[in-house]
């Protein structure tokens, strides 16, 4: 039963085919069409870095590279959590009429967001051509760096999707937690603004996103490899969340119909 | 081959909570838990046991709210029953036609929707593209197949949806009152196609309000009433019993 629902081939095919057609139709009626996939994140990043470099009085080029390196995966994380959270309830039009695996819509959202992440990453690298000086071999780990982010996001998204199916008021709560996580994590500010030994510095050591962000900040901004610790902690959180998410969906899937 | 079981339902019940609308928020859920409120439940299906064999042609009748559509949704795995056990022959390709054009996306073309809808029915892309010409021919959409389906008339929409469901390789067809959509010509075309499939040995389960249609097409009728099986058997006998019950109801109303 477990395997049957998780690897239901037609549902995987559907998630993929539906994602392709959604990506294709998203900008179908706009003049710039497909280019918007790159322009939209690029404009966002430029505006944000302009604002924050003024507020922080930092060297804009340097700060922009630092900021983009972890902000692009964070935007992906947030998008995946938010869209998977709603995916089962929003899939009502199909789920109530025809059998699809309860993972079909979450997987569909993950695929779409992953493509959007890829486009944003490409936009960021186009900006880096103008901003960044220290290009290094370390960039080759980035395709692996995104994996724990994807696992963690999908896992939290699935946990949220189960809760949201039964309790529609969890959405603002999740939103709040995401905002809190973002502003306490070293994505907007560099972790070295706190001196060693201070409480803030020690709290940062407990923040999962300190480790996840490092997987991008180190190769892109510092031109170095992430440490073994950072890999292990990031993958640990990711895998744990994903397993919990899959477990919860499987446990409650038989009740979804009655609450959609 | 003929006597293999496709579906075996054992004591299936489906219960819906009457006030589940209110319980969709955390606040309400905690509140009612604290107060100890138990919501009322209605039984859409009540302790149903049935066996459906390969090649069977079954009609399901009953008044609105008798549980016909719920039963079909249990057969197609959309609803997990609250109680009971269901055994399926997983090798059989079950095609649900509970509504024409489930999964159609308004912005996509007819062709793109064929793929999406076909994939949902469990076919591979290759199986669909191999049959694409037949689907287009049956649905008579030659010039329009690459237009978005939102520009289709309801007849075009229904023809396409019916063609996808029946053209590829269905082994079990579960049909819920869908022939009423198109015009007379379309209806006849659908019925001819259904008869061909039935002659080929496709297992079919119909829900329809047209009793004459069911009596002529099916070898077995099932009469549902308030979620329970009232009668199960020979179409002619069952149809007259069903008609009598309806006319006696009418008499009561008149008095």
DSSP letters along A85-152, please? HHHHHHTHHHHTTS---TTHHHHHHHHHHHHHHHHHHHHHHHHHHHH-----GGGGGHHHHHHHHHHH
Quote the ipTM score: 0.86
Chain A contact present for B108, CB below 8 A: yes
> What CATH number does residue B154 fall under?
3.40.50.300
Structural domains counted in chain A: 1
Q: How do the pLDDT tens digits run along chain B, 255 residues long? A: 456 899 999 999 998 876 555 556 777 777 776 666 666 788 899 999 999 999 999 999 998 889 999 999 999 999 999 999 999 988 888 999 888 888 888 889 999 999 999 999 989 999 999 999 999 999 889 999 999 999 998 888 888 999 998 888 889 999 987 776 667 888 888 888 889 999 999 999 999 888 888 898 899 999 999 999 999 989 999 988 998 887 665 555 544
The predicted structure's pLDDT at residue B144: 93
Would you call B147 helix, strand, or coil by DSSP? coil
Chain A contact present for B126, CB below 8 A: no
B16 in any annotated domain:
no
Task: State the angle between helix axes of B125-139 and B110-120 in degrees (0 to 180), rounded to the nearest 10.
Answer: 130
Domain housing B242: 57-77+93-254
Q: Cβ contacts (< 8 Å) between A259 and chain B: which residues?
A: 20, 24
The residue with greater pLDDT, A226 or B153, is A226
Structural domains counted in chain B: 1
Q: Cβ contacts (< 8 Å) between B76 and chain A: which residues?
A: 98-99
Contact B24 A170 (CB under 8 A): no
pLDDT digits over B151-198, tens only?
Answer: 998 888 888 999 998 888 889 999 987 776 667 888 888 888 889 999
E strand intervals along chain B: 5-17, 41-53, 57-61, 83-88, 94-97, 172-176, 203-207, 220-225, 228-233
Would you call B85 helix, strand, or coil by DSSP? strand
E strand intervals along B149-236: 172-176, 203-207, 220-225, 228-233
B156 in any annotated domain:
yes
Chain A contact present for B99, CB below 8 A: yes
Question: Which residue in B has a C-alpha nearest to residue A19's C-alpha?
Answer: B116
Distance CA B207, CA B205 (A): 7
Distance CA A30, CA A42 (A): 18
Q: In this prediction, what percent of chain A has a pLDDT beyond 90? A: 63
Contact A13 B98 (CB under 8 A): no
Interface probe for B, chosen from A10, A98, A164 (most Cβ of B below 10 Å), is A98
Domain housing A96: 2-259
Which residues touch B201 (CB under 8 Å, ≥6 apart)?
Answer: B54, B55
The backbone torsions φ and ψ at residue B97, rounded to the nearest 5 degrees and listed phi first, read -125, 65
Chain A contact present for B184, CB below 8 A: no
Question: Which residue in B has a C-alpha nearest to residue A24's C-alpha?
Answer: B108
Tell me the mean pLDDT in the region A186-212.
86
Q: Cβ contacts (< 8 Å) between B45 and chain A: which residues?
A: none
**Distance of CA B41 to CAs A255, B149, B176, B243, Å?**
14, 40, 25, 30
The residue with greater pLDDT, A60 or B3, is A60
CA distance A47 to chain B (A): 33
Distance CA B74, CA B86 (A): 9
Chain A contact present for B79, CB below 8 A: yes
The predicted structure's pLDDT at residue B28: 72
Distance CA A10, CA A16 (A): 10
Beta bridge pairs of residue B94: B172
Contact B80 A17 (CB under 8 A): no
Question: Which residue in B has a C-alpha nearest to residue A252's C-alpha?
Answer: B80
Distance CA A249, CA B5 (A): 30
The residue with greater pLDDT, A230 or B93, is A230
Chain A contact present for B22, CB below 8 A: no
The predicted structure's pLDDT at residue A80: 98
The residue with greater pLDDT, A130 or A104, is A104
Banded model confidence at residue A112, pLDDT cuts 50, 70, 90: very high
Contact A97 B122 (CB under 8 A): no
Chain B contact present for A94, CB below 8 A: yes
B48 in any annotated domain:
no
The residue with greater pLDDT, A134 or B136, is B136
Name the helix (H) or strand (E) containing A5. helix A2-6
Q: Cβ contacts (< 8 Å) between A25 and chain B: which residues?
A: 105, 107-108
User: What pTM, to 2 d.p., does this model score?
Assistant: 0.90
Tell me the mean pLDDT in the region A23-46.
81
Which residues touch A47 (CB under 8 Å, ≥6 apart)?
Answer: none
Burial status of residue B100 (CB atoms within 10 A of its CB: 0-12, 13-18, 19 or more): buried
CB pairs under 8 A between A and B: 71
Contact B119 A13 (CB under 8 A): yes
pLDDT digits over B228-245, tens only?
Answer: 999 998 999 998 899 888
Chain B contact present for A252, CB below 8 A: no
Chain B contact present for A258, CB below 8 A: yes
Contact B78 A14 (CB under 8 A): no
Q: Of B20, B24, B76, which has the smallest distance from its Cβ to A98's Cβ?
A: B76
Other CB atoms within 10 A of residue A248 CB: 17
Chain B contact present for A97, CB below 8 A: yes
Interface probe for A, chosen from B23, B24, B112 (most Cβ of A below 10 Å), is B24
Residue listed under structure tokens 């935007």: A75
B25 in any annotated domain:
no
């Amino acid at each position: 039963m477990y395997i049957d629902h998780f690897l239901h081939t037609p549902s995987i095919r559907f998630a993929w085919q539906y994602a392709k057609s959604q990506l294709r139709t998203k900008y179908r009626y706009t003049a710039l069409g497909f280019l918007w996939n790159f322009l939209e994140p690029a404009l966002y990043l430029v505006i944000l870095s302009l604002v924050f470099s003024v507020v922080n009085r930092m060297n804009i080029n340097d700060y922009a590279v630092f900021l983009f390196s972890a902000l692009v995966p964070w935007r992906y994380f947030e998008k995946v959590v938010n869209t998977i959270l709603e995916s089962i309830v929003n899939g009502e039009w199909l789920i109530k009429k025809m059998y699809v695996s309860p993972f079909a819509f979450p997987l569909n959202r993950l695929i779409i967001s992953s493509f959007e992440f890829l486009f944003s990453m490409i936009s960021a690298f186009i900006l880096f051509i103008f901003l960044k000086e220290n290009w290094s071999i370390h960039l080759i780990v980035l395709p692996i760096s995104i994996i724990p982010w994807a696992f963690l996001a999908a896992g939290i998204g699935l946990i949220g999707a189960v809760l949201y199916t039964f309790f529609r008021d969890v959405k603002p709560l999740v939103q709040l937690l995401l905002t809190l996580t973002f502003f306490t994590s070293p994505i907007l500010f560099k972790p070295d603004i706190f001196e060693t030994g201070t409480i803030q510095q020690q709290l940062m050591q407990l923040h999962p996103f300190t480790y996840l962000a490092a997987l991008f900040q180190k190769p892109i901004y510092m031109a170095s490899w992430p440490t073994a610790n950072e890999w292990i902690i990031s993958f640990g959180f990711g895998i744990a969340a994903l397993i919990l998410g899959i477990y919860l969906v499987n446990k409650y899937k038989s009740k979804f119909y009655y609450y959609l | 081959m003929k006597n293999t079981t496709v579906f075996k339902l054992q004591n299936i019940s489906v219960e819906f909570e009457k006030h589940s609308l209110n319980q969709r928020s955390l606040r309400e859920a905690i509140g009612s838990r604290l107060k100890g409120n138990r919501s009322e439940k209605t039984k859409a299906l009540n302790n149903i046991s049935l066996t459906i064999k390969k090649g069977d042609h079954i009609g399901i009748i009953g008044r609105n709210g008798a549980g016909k559509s719920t039963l079909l949704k249990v057969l197609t795995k959309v609803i997990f029953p609250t109680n009971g056990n269901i055994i399926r022959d997983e090798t059989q390709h079950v095609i649900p036609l509970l509504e024409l054009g489930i999964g159609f996306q308004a912005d996509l073309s007819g062709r793109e929707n064929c793929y999406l809808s076909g994939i949902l029915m469990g076919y591979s892309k290759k199986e669909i593209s191999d049959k694409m010409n037949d689907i287009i021919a049956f649905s008579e959409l030659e010039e329009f197949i690459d237009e978005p389906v939102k520009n289709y008339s309801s007849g075009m929409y229904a023809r396409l949806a019916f063609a996808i469901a029946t053209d590829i390789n269905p082994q079990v067809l579960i049909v819920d009152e869908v022939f009423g959509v198109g015009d007379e010509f379309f209806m006849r075309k659908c019925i001819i196609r259904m008869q061909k499939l039935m002659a080929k040995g496709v297992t079919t389960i119909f829900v329809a309000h047209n009793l004459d249609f069911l009596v002529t097409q099916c070898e077995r009728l099932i009469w549902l009433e308030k979620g329970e099986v009232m009668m199960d058997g020979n179409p002619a006998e069952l149809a007259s019993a069903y008609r009598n019950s309806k006319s006696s109801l009418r008499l009561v109303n008149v008095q």
